[in-house]
Structure 1
Amino acid sequence: MSVTINTGPRWRIILEKPLWHWLALLLLCSAYLQGGIDKAFDFNGALAEMQHFGLAPAAPLAIATIIGELGASALILTGVYRWFGALYLACFTLFATFIANRFWELSGPERFMTANSFFEHLGLTGGFLLVAWLDLKSREATPVAVQR
Protein backbone atom coordinates (compact mmCIF):
# COMPACT_ATOMS: atom_id res chain seq x y z
CA MET A 1 0.00 0.00 0.00
CA SER A 2 1.36 3.41 -0.92
CA VAL A 3 0.23 6.80 0.36
CA THR A 4 0.66 9.96 -1.71
CA ILE A 5 0.58 13.30 0.04
CA ASN A 6 -0.07 16.22 -2.29
CA THR A 7 1.27 19.43 -0.79
CA GLY A 8 0.91 21.40 -4.02
CA PRO A 9 3.63 22.85 -6.16
CA ARG A 10 6.56 24.01 -4.08
CA TRP A 11 7.13 27.09 -6.24
CA ARG A 12 3.63 28.30 -5.40
CA ILE A 13 4.24 27.95 -1.67
CA ILE A 14 7.44 29.98 -2.02
CA LEU A 15 6.00 32.68 -4.30
CA GLU A 16 2.94 33.22 -2.12
CA LYS A 17 5.09 34.58 0.70
CA PRO A 18 4.39 38.31 1.30
CA LEU A 19 8.12 39.07 0.99
CA TRP A 20 8.08 38.11 -2.72
CA HIS A 21 5.06 40.33 -3.36
CA TRP A 22 6.79 43.27 -1.69
CA LEU A 23 10.07 42.54 -3.51
CA ALA A 24 8.23 42.54 -6.86
CA LEU A 25 6.73 45.93 -6.01
CA LEU A 26 10.17 47.22 -4.96
CA LEU A 27 11.64 46.12 -8.28
CA LEU A 28 8.79 47.81 -10.17
CA CYS A 29 9.40 51.04 -8.24
CA SER A 30 13.21 50.88 -8.29
CA ALA A 31 13.72 53.27 -11.22
CA TYR A 32 11.46 55.86 -9.56
CA LEU A 33 13.15 55.53 -6.17
CA GLN A 34 16.59 55.85 -7.80
CA GLY A 35 15.41 58.73 -10.00
CA GLY A 36 13.77 60.63 -7.15
CA ILE A 37 16.76 60.20 -4.85
CA ASP A 38 19.23 61.22 -7.58
CA LYS A 39 17.18 64.31 -8.44
CA ALA A 40 16.88 65.25 -4.75
CA PHE A 41 20.64 65.00 -4.18
CA ASP A 42 21.55 66.61 -7.52
CA PHE A 43 18.90 69.26 -7.94
CA ASN A 44 20.95 71.09 -10.58
CA GLY A 45 20.97 67.86 -12.60
CA ALA A 46 17.20 67.64 -12.16
CA LEU A 47 16.85 71.20 -13.44
CA ALA A 48 19.10 70.41 -16.41
CA GLU A 49 16.94 67.39 -17.23
CA MET A 50 13.76 69.52 -17.20
CA GLN A 51 15.41 72.11 -19.42
CA HIS A 52 16.76 69.44 -21.79
CA PHE A 53 13.20 68.28 -22.47
CA GLY A 54 11.88 71.85 -22.74
CA LEU A 55 9.82 71.69 -19.56
CA ALA A 56 9.18 74.97 -17.78
CA PRO A 57 9.17 76.21 -15.13
CA ALA A 58 12.00 73.79 -14.40
CA ALA A 59 12.31 74.15 -10.62
CA PRO A 60 8.65 73.52 -9.68
CA LEU A 61 8.45 70.65 -12.17
CA ALA A 62 11.64 69.09 -10.79
CA ILE A 63 10.28 69.36 -7.23
CA ALA A 64 6.95 67.85 -8.33
CA THR A 65 8.80 65.01 -10.08
CA ILE A 66 10.87 64.23 -6.98
CA ILE A 67 7.83 64.26 -4.70
CA GLY A 68 5.80 62.24 -7.20
CA GLU A 69 8.42 59.55 -7.81
CA LEU A 70 9.25 59.06 -4.14
CA GLY A 71 5.75 59.60 -2.78
CA ALA A 72 3.97 57.28 -5.21
CA SER A 73 6.64 54.61 -4.66
CA ALA A 74 6.13 54.91 -0.91
CA LEU A 75 2.36 54.48 -1.32
CA ILE A 76 2.89 51.36 -3.41
CA LEU A 77 5.45 49.83 -1.05
CA THR A 78 3.49 50.53 2.14
CA GLY A 79 0.13 49.50 0.69
CA VAL A 80 -1.45 52.80 1.75
CA TYR A 81 -3.51 53.92 -1.25
CA ARG A 82 -1.40 51.54 -3.36
CA TRP A 83 -3.88 51.88 -6.23
CA PHE A 84 -3.40 55.66 -6.25
CA GLY A 85 0.40 55.45 -6.23
CA ALA A 86 0.31 52.91 -9.05
CA LEU A 87 -2.08 55.02 -11.15
CA TYR A 88 0.07 58.08 -10.54
CA LEU A 89 3.23 56.31 -11.71
CA ALA A 90 1.37 54.80 -14.69
CA CYS A 91 0.26 58.27 -15.84
CA PHE A 92 3.64 59.83 -15.03
CA THR A 93 5.48 57.12 -16.96
CA LEU A 94 3.20 57.36 -19.98
CA PHE A 95 3.52 61.15 -20.08
CA ALA A 96 7.31 61.07 -19.61
CA THR A 97 7.66 58.37 -22.27
CA PHE A 98 6.06 60.55 -24.92
CA ILE A 99 8.33 63.45 -23.92
CA ALA A 100 11.65 61.63 -23.55
CA ASN A 101 11.42 58.74 -26.03
CA ARG A 102 10.21 60.25 -29.29
CA PHE A 103 11.80 57.54 -31.41
CA TRP A 104 9.71 58.47 -34.47
CA GLU A 105 11.74 61.69 -34.78
CA LEU A 106 15.09 59.82 -34.87
CA SER A 107 16.97 57.58 -37.28
CA GLY A 108 19.66 54.93 -37.19
CA PRO A 109 20.90 53.28 -34.01
CA GLU A 110 19.54 56.10 -31.86
CA ARG A 111 16.02 55.37 -33.16
CA PHE A 112 16.41 51.68 -32.33
CA MET A 113 17.59 52.32 -28.74
CA THR A 114 14.95 54.99 -28.11
CA ALA A 115 12.17 52.79 -29.50
CA ASN A 116 13.27 50.00 -27.15
CA SER A 117 13.13 52.42 -24.22
CA PHE A 118 9.71 53.67 -25.36
CA PHE A 119 8.20 50.20 -25.36
CA GLU A 120 9.92 49.21 -22.11
CA HIS A 121 8.26 52.21 -20.49
CA LEU A 122 4.91 51.19 -21.94
CA GLY A 123 5.51 47.85 -20.20
CA LEU A 124 6.16 49.65 -16.91
CA THR A 125 2.94 51.59 -17.42
CA GLY A 126 1.09 48.30 -17.88
CA GLY A 127 2.70 46.90 -14.76
CA PHE A 128 1.53 49.85 -12.68
CA LEU A 129 -1.98 49.58 -14.14
CA LEU A 130 -2.03 45.91 -13.08
CA VAL A 131 -0.91 46.85 -9.55
CA ALA A 132 -3.71 49.44 -9.32
CA TRP A 133 -6.29 47.04 -10.71
CA LEU A 134 -5.29 44.19 -8.39
CA ASP A 135 -5.24 46.49 -5.37
CA LEU A 136 -8.71 47.86 -6.14
CA LYS A 137 -9.98 44.33 -6.83
CA SER A 138 -8.65 43.08 -3.49
CA ARG A 139 -10.37 45.99 -1.73
CA GLU A 140 -13.69 45.02 -3.34
CA ALA A 141 -13.29 41.48 -2.06
CA THR A 142 -12.61 42.66 1.50
CA PRO A 143 -15.86 43.44 3.34
CA VAL A 144 -15.99 46.86 4.95
CA ALA A 145 -17.46 47.15 8.45
CA VAL A 146 -20.89 48.74 8.46
CA GLN A 147 -20.80 52.16 10.10
CA ARG A 148 -23.72 53.28 12.23
Structure 2
Amino acid sequence: MSDVERMVVVALRPWGTSAMVRWLGLLGLTAAYLQGGLVKASDFAGAVAEMTHFGLAPASLLAVLVIVLELGASVMILGGVGRWAGALALGFFTLAATFLANRYWEMSGVERFMSANAFYEHLGLVGAFLLVACQDISKKYRSINGENE
Protein backbone atom coordinates (compact mmCIF):
# COMPACT_ATOMS: atom_id res chain seq x y z
CA MET A 1 0.00 0.00 0.00
CA SER A 2 1.39 3.39 -0.95
CA ASP A 3 1.82 6.17 1.61
CA VAL A 4 -0.93 8.20 -0.05
CA GLU A 5 -3.33 5.26 -0.01
CA ARG A 6 -2.48 4.58 3.63
CA MET A 7 -3.22 8.22 4.57
CA VAL A 8 -6.55 8.14 2.72
CA VAL A 9 -7.56 4.86 4.37
CA VAL A 10 -6.67 6.17 7.82
CA ALA A 11 -8.59 9.41 7.15
CA LEU A 12 -11.69 7.60 5.87
CA ARG A 13 -11.69 4.80 8.47
CA PRO A 14 -14.24 6.51 10.75
CA TRP A 15 -16.68 6.73 7.82
CA GLY A 16 -15.94 3.22 6.58
CA THR A 17 -16.55 1.65 9.97
CA SER A 18 -19.57 3.77 10.93
CA ALA A 19 -22.78 1.77 11.45
CA MET A 20 -24.82 4.84 10.48
CA VAL A 21 -22.96 5.29 7.19
CA ARG A 22 -23.44 1.59 6.40
CA TRP A 23 -27.14 1.83 7.21
CA LEU A 24 -27.50 4.94 5.02
CA GLY A 25 -25.82 2.98 2.21
CA LEU A 26 -28.33 0.16 2.66
CA LEU A 27 -31.16 2.71 2.71
CA GLY A 28 -29.91 4.12 -0.58
CA LEU A 29 -29.70 0.62 -2.04
CA THR A 30 -33.27 -0.22 -1.00
CA ALA A 31 -34.82 3.22 -1.62
CA ALA A 32 -36.30 2.35 -5.02
CA TYR A 33 -37.86 -0.82 -3.62
CA LEU A 34 -39.33 0.96 -0.59
CA GLN A 35 -40.74 3.66 -2.87
CA GLY A 36 -41.99 1.10 -5.39
CA GLY A 37 -43.68 -1.04 -2.77
CA LEU A 38 -45.34 1.95 -1.10
CA VAL A 39 -46.56 3.39 -4.41
CA LYS A 40 -47.92 0.01 -5.53
CA ALA A 41 -49.64 -0.46 -2.16
CA SER A 42 -51.22 3.00 -2.30
CA ASP A 43 -52.26 2.61 -5.96
CA PHE A 44 -53.07 -1.08 -6.21
CA ALA A 45 -54.96 -0.62 -9.49
CA GLY A 46 -51.80 0.88 -10.97
CA ALA A 47 -49.75 -2.05 -9.65
CA VAL A 48 -52.16 -4.50 -11.30
CA ALA A 49 -52.01 -2.47 -14.53
CA GLU A 50 -48.20 -2.70 -14.44
CA MET A 51 -48.37 -6.50 -14.14
CA THR A 52 -50.87 -6.64 -17.02
CA HIS A 53 -48.65 -4.36 -19.13
CA PHE A 54 -45.84 -6.90 -18.86
CA GLY A 55 -48.17 -9.82 -19.61
CA LEU A 56 -47.98 -11.27 -16.11
CA ALA A 57 -50.91 -13.24 -14.71
CA PRO A 58 -52.64 -13.48 -12.35
CA ALA A 59 -51.94 -9.76 -12.16
CA SER A 60 -53.57 -9.08 -8.79
CA LEU A 61 -51.76 -11.89 -7.00
CA LEU A 62 -48.42 -10.96 -8.54
CA ALA A 63 -48.92 -7.31 -7.59
CA VAL A 64 -49.47 -8.35 -3.96
CA LEU A 65 -46.39 -10.60 -4.05
CA VAL A 66 -44.23 -7.82 -5.51
CA ILE A 67 -45.41 -5.36 -2.85
CA VAL A 68 -44.65 -7.86 -0.08
CA LEU A 69 -41.26 -8.69 -1.61
CA GLU A 70 -40.16 -5.10 -2.15
CA LEU A 71 -41.18 -3.91 1.31
CA GLY A 72 -40.40 -7.09 3.24
CA ALA A 73 -36.94 -7.69 1.77
CA SER A 74 -36.06 -4.00 2.20
CA VAL A 75 -37.02 -4.14 5.88
CA MET A 76 -34.95 -7.33 6.30
CA ILE A 77 -31.92 -5.61 4.78
CA LEU A 78 -32.33 -2.42 6.81
CA GLY A 79 -33.14 -4.23 10.04
CA GLY A 80 -30.35 -6.77 9.69
CA VAL A 81 -32.65 -9.74 10.30
CA GLY A 82 -32.10 -12.20 7.48
CA ARG A 83 -30.23 -9.48 5.61
CA TRP A 84 -28.59 -12.04 3.32
CA ALA A 85 -32.00 -13.52 2.39
CA GLY A 86 -33.54 -10.11 1.74
CA ALA A 87 -30.58 -9.10 -0.40
CA LEU A 88 -30.69 -12.30 -2.44
CA ALA A 89 -34.47 -11.96 -2.88
CA LEU A 90 -34.20 -8.39 -4.17
CA GLY A 91 -31.22 -9.36 -6.31
CA PHE A 92 -33.08 -12.20 -8.02
CA PHE A 93 -36.21 -10.06 -8.35
CA THR A 94 -34.20 -7.24 -9.91
CA LEU A 95 -32.48 -9.60 -12.33
CA ALA A 96 -35.78 -11.10 -13.46
CA ALA A 97 -37.48 -7.71 -13.74
CA THR A 98 -34.54 -6.35 -15.71
CA PHE A 99 -34.79 -9.08 -18.34
CA LEU A 100 -38.56 -8.56 -18.46
CA ALA A 101 -38.71 -4.78 -18.63
CA ASN A 102 -35.44 -3.70 -20.27
CA ARG A 103 -35.11 -5.86 -23.39
CA TYR A 104 -33.07 -3.24 -25.19
CA TRP A 105 -31.94 -5.74 -27.82
CA GLU A 106 -35.52 -5.67 -29.17
CA MET A 107 -35.56 -1.86 -29.46
CA SER A 108 -34.03 0.85 -31.59
CA GLY A 109 -33.08 4.50 -31.37
CA VAL A 110 -33.37 6.49 -28.18
CA GLU A 111 -35.60 3.84 -26.60
CA ARG A 112 -32.83 1.26 -27.05
CA PHE A 113 -30.20 3.60 -25.61
CA MET A 114 -32.27 4.41 -22.51
CA SER A 115 -33.30 0.80 -21.94
CA ALA A 116 -29.71 -0.45 -22.30
CA ASN A 117 -28.59 2.07 -19.68
CA ALA A 118 -31.36 0.93 -17.33
CA PHE A 119 -30.49 -2.73 -17.99
CA TYR A 120 -26.86 -2.34 -16.97
CA GLU A 121 -27.66 -0.03 -14.04
CA HIS A 122 -29.97 -2.75 -12.72
CA LEU A 123 -27.22 -5.33 -13.13
CA GLY A 124 -25.17 -3.04 -10.89
CA LEU A 125 -27.93 -3.22 -8.28
CA VAL A 126 -27.92 -7.01 -8.54
CA GLY A 127 -24.17 -6.95 -7.89
CA ALA A 128 -24.63 -4.69 -4.88
CA PHE A 129 -27.27 -7.01 -3.42
CA LEU A 130 -24.95 -9.97 -3.97
CA LEU A 131 -22.18 -8.15 -2.08
CA VAL A 132 -24.55 -7.36 0.80
CA ALA A 133 -25.57 -11.03 0.99
CA CYS A 134 -21.95 -12.22 0.87
CA GLN A 135 -20.89 -9.77 3.57
CA ASP A 136 -23.75 -10.81 5.86
CA ILE A 137 -23.12 -14.52 5.32
CA SER A 138 -19.39 -14.01 5.94
CA LYS A 139 -20.14 -12.09 9.15
CA LYS A 140 -22.46 -14.85 10.37
CA TYR A 141 -19.91 -17.54 9.47
CA ARG A 142 -17.19 -15.75 11.46
CA SER A 143 -19.57 -15.44 14.39
CA ILE A 144 -20.44 -19.16 14.29
CA ASN A 145 -16.74 -20.05 14.30
CA GLY A 146 -15.86 -17.58 17.06
CA GLU A 147 -13.66 -15.50 14.78
CA ASN A 148 -13.12 -11.80 15.28
CA GLU A 149 -14.77 -9.49 12.82
TM-score, structure 1 normalization: 0.90
SS in 2 for 1:142: helix
Where in structure 2 are there 5+ consecutive unaligned residues? 1-6
- List per-residue Cα deviations over 1:48-88 (Å, max 9, x = no partner): 10011000110000000000000000000000000000000
Runs ≥4 in structure 1, deviation > 2 angstroms? none
**Which has the higher mean CA deviation after the structures are superposed, 11-20 or 124-133?**
11-20
In the alignment, what sits opposite 1:3? Answer: none
Q: What are the Cα deviations for residues 1-35 of structure 1, in whole angstroms up to 9, with x where unaligned?
A: xxxxx9x7222113311000000000000000000
Give the number of equivalent residue pairs.
Answer: 139
Unaligned runs of 5+ residues in structure 1 are: 1-5
Q: Which residue of 2 aligns with 1:110?
A: 111
Give percent identity, aligned residues only.
Answer: 56
Q: Distance in 1 between matches of 2:135 and 2:121?
A: 21
- Distance in structure 2 (CA, Å) of the matches to 1:128 and 1:107: 30
* Counterpart Cα distance in 2 of 1:84 and 1:143: 18
The aligned residue for residue 126 of structure 2 is: 125
Equivalent residue, structure 2, for 1:47: 48
- The CA deviation string for residues 94-121 of structure 1, in whole angstroms up to 9 with x for no partner, is 0000000000000001000000000000
The equivalent residue for 1:56 is 57
Shifted more, 10-19 versus 89-98: the winner is 10-19
String of CA shifts for 1:122-145, please: whole Å, max 9, x gaps. Answer: 000000000000000000111369
TM-score (norm 2): 0.90
CA distance in 2, matches of 1:14, 1:100: 36
> Counterparts in 2 of 1:92-103, with a 5 A limit?
92-103=93-104
For 2:41 and 2:15, the matched residues in 1 are separated by 37
Q: Is 1:18 aligned with 2:19?
A: yes
Tell me the distance in 2 between the aligned counterparts of 1:14 and 1:120.
Answer: 25
Corresponding residue for 2:138?
137
CA distance in 1, matches of 2:138, 2:145: 13
Letter of the 1:138 partner, please give it.
K
> What is the DSSP-based 3-state SS (H/G/I as helix, E as strand, rest coil) of the residue aligned with 2:144?
coil
Task: Tell me by how many angstroms 1:45 deviates.
Answer: 0.6
CA RMSD of aligned residues (A): 1.4
User: Partner of 1:87 in structure 2?
Assistant: 88
The structure with the larger Rg is 1
